[in-house]
Each structure stands twice: as structure tokens, then as C-alpha cells.
Amino acid sequence: MALEHAILVSLDERAGTGYELARRFDRSIGFFWAATHQQIYRTLKRMVDLGWVTCHEEAGTGRPDRKVYEPADAGRAELTRWLAEPGEPETIRHELAVKVRGASLGDVAAVVAEVARHRGLHAERLDAYRALGARDFPDPSGLTGRRLHQHLVLRGGVRAEQALVEWCDEVLAALREDTRR
């Protein structure tokens, strides 16, 4: 139940519409918390009911009215409460690992191909994160406060993707070696 909280963090960085939030969830914040626009619209509505955000409509010139959301005091209080609350470590759902574990029951070569494909996707993400880091944080050593926090999260993404690329490489080497015998 942290979509609300991810939205509050994002809105605190800058107020915006549901549509804009959905785009942010496709990029920065979405790298570690995914959400679709339908989820976001529904959640924003609930958050207005809870008094966590305020919404002021800007009558559109023809387009649907823009509904710009901003965090309210109750929302900031809720965030503060949640930040201090202990949470569970993430529940992992690693589909590719299930495939590797089941490889001997199907076509091992097909699983090798799938691992190779994922290796490529993770390497791409790793590059994207590194490019983002180089662009937005050219001198990471001097960061403080919010900018430091943003950078640390990006570092987490880099580490996660790096670990995945290395694991894929280990799997590929081992499975290819095993096939050769």
C-alpha cells in the first residue's frame, strides 16, 4: 500500500496532474515503483477523499479540464508517519529464475535465449541509469538533502541492474558449458 506514498513523494517534488504523474511513473519514480494511469487516477481520487491531497481544476481551452494535485498537510503528516513505520523487505517475484529452475523440463536452448534477451534488457537499463546519473548528478560527492536521497535511489537501481546482468552472464556461461558436454 505504498502507491499513495510514492505519489505523495512525487507531488512534493512538484505538483501535477494524474497524467503527468503517470509519465513520471514511466521514468524516474517508476524505476522502483511501477503504476499505470488507471491506478494513479483511482488512487488520487481516494487521496482527495482522505484529505491527503488537494485538487484544483484548471478549465481547459477545449481539452478536458486539468486537475492539478498538491499534497495537503494531512498527506505530509501521513508520509512522515509512514516513513518511520517498519516495512517488510520486498517480496520477490522472479519469473526468469522460475524458468531457469525449470529449464530441464523443457527446451534448455529456449531458456538460454530468454536469459540472453533479459541480459540485454538489463544492460540497457543499466546504461540508461548511468546516463541519467551522469546528466543529473555530475558531481555526486557534494550532494546533500533531497538531491542526495534522489541520487542514492538511482545508485540502488544501478546496483540492482548490475547484479542482474552479472547473474545472467553466470547463468549463460554455465548453461552453455553444460550443453557442450
Partner DNA sequence: AGATTCATGTAAAAGGTTACATGATTTC
Partner DNA sequence: GAAATCATGTAACCTTTTACATGAATCT
Return residues touching DNA (CB under 7 A).
1, 3, 17-20, 22-23, 34-39, 41-42, 45, 60-67, 91, 93
State which amino acid sits at residue 73: D
- Grid coordinates given for 143: 550532494
Q: Which does 131 bind (CB under 5 to 8 A by kind): DNA, a second copy, none?
A: none
Cβ of 9: how many Cβ atoms within 10 Å? 16
Q: Which does 20 bind (CB under 5 to 8 A by kind): a second copy, DNA, none?
A: DNA
| CA dist., res. 153 & res. 157, Å (int) | 7
Rounded to whole angstroms, what are the CA distances from 117 to 5, 96, 108, 168?
33, 11, 14, 9
- Grid coordinates given for 58: 484548471
**Residue 46: CB minimum distance to DNA, A:** 8
- Which positions touch a second copy (CB under 8 A)? 2, 5-6, 8-9, 12, 29, 31-34, 76, 79-80, 82-84, 86-107, 110-111, 114, 117-118, 121-122, 125, 144-146, 148-150, 152-153, 155-156, 159-160, 162-164, 166-167, 170-171, 174-175, 178, 181
